[in-house]
Amino acid sequence: MEIRHKETGSETARLAQNGSPASGFRLGSGDPLADLRSRSHFVIGQLGQSLDGHIATRTGHSKYINDSRGLTHLHALRGTVDAVLVGVGTVNDDDPLLTVRLCAGKSPARVIVDPKGRVFADARLFFDGGPETFILTDEALSHPLSESVRIIGLPCENGRLDPALMIAALHDAGFKRILVEGGSRTLSAFIDRGCLDRLHLIIAPMLIGGGYQGLNLSAVSTVDAALRPAVTLYHLGHDILCDCVFNTG
């Protein structure tokens, strides 16, 4: 592994695999969202965590692991996409609005992955008068909120929806730029399925020592089989934003 740094951030640290550059680190400057604004379609995820890879303590406490600028960045990211997607656990646990409030930008449509019809009917996003909300669910299920929310039924296997089918359904609905905001299980499923083009991983300079893990991906047998995204690093307040590129198309 060769690592080179210059003040301009123009040098790249390359990880060699089988003798050829495979992935790398680059020191970035400016706006990490700049190139996304010109793209017509992409799927991006965001996750904030500690240095040791946790998103909450063992008691579930997480406010706040990351710098306040990380939250502003998340709102800016929402303002860059057509739809923001979260798992039902995120809605039930955090009761988010999923709107753009901390910066300029149009709030995206909101999409809940809820294959078993578990979402709380009194969640705030159903009553805030904000953007349209969709629920992706098992096509064989009569969802309890089918009278008040737009439902998209998809094939379900072992209680889970296929990320590739979710993306295809959202494309059919007119949503080409998609943010997978959480939770960690949903985000991990998109990475495992090869359905994430980019990931903004925000790392806080703290060690939690245990608790709720961030990414939980399928294990590989050898290092050669590991995912090796190209990564650009940005300062985000006290945190580091890792802009991980899996697919360049």
Give the CATH number for residue 108.
Answer: 3.40.430.10
Residue 130 has pLDDT above 90, yes or no: yes
User: How does residue 249 score in pLDDT terms, banded at 50, 70 and 90?
Assistant: low
Residue 95 has pLDDT above 90, yes or no: yes
User: How does residue 6 score in pLDDT terms, banded at 50, 70 and 90?
Assistant: very low
84 within some domain: yes
59 within some domain: yes
Q: What is the model's pLDDT at position 103?
A: 96
As a whole-number percent, the residues of the chain with pLDDT over 70 amount to 90
What's the number of domains the chain is made of?
1
Residue 2 has pLDDT above 50, yes or no: no
Give the CA angle between residues 39, 175, 125 to the nearest 5°.
120
Residue 161 has pLDDT above 80, yes or no: yes
Full residue range of the structural domain in which residue 81 is found: 41-245
Q: What is the pLDDT of residues 60-85, one digit of tens each?
A: 999 889 999 999 999 999 999 999 99
20 within some domain: no
The Cα–Cα gap between 56 and 239 comes to: 16
Query: Please, what is the average pLDDT of the chain?
Result: 90
30 within some domain: no
SS3 letters across 169-215: HHHHCCCCEEEEEECHHHHHHHHHCCCCCEEEEEEECCCCCCCEECC
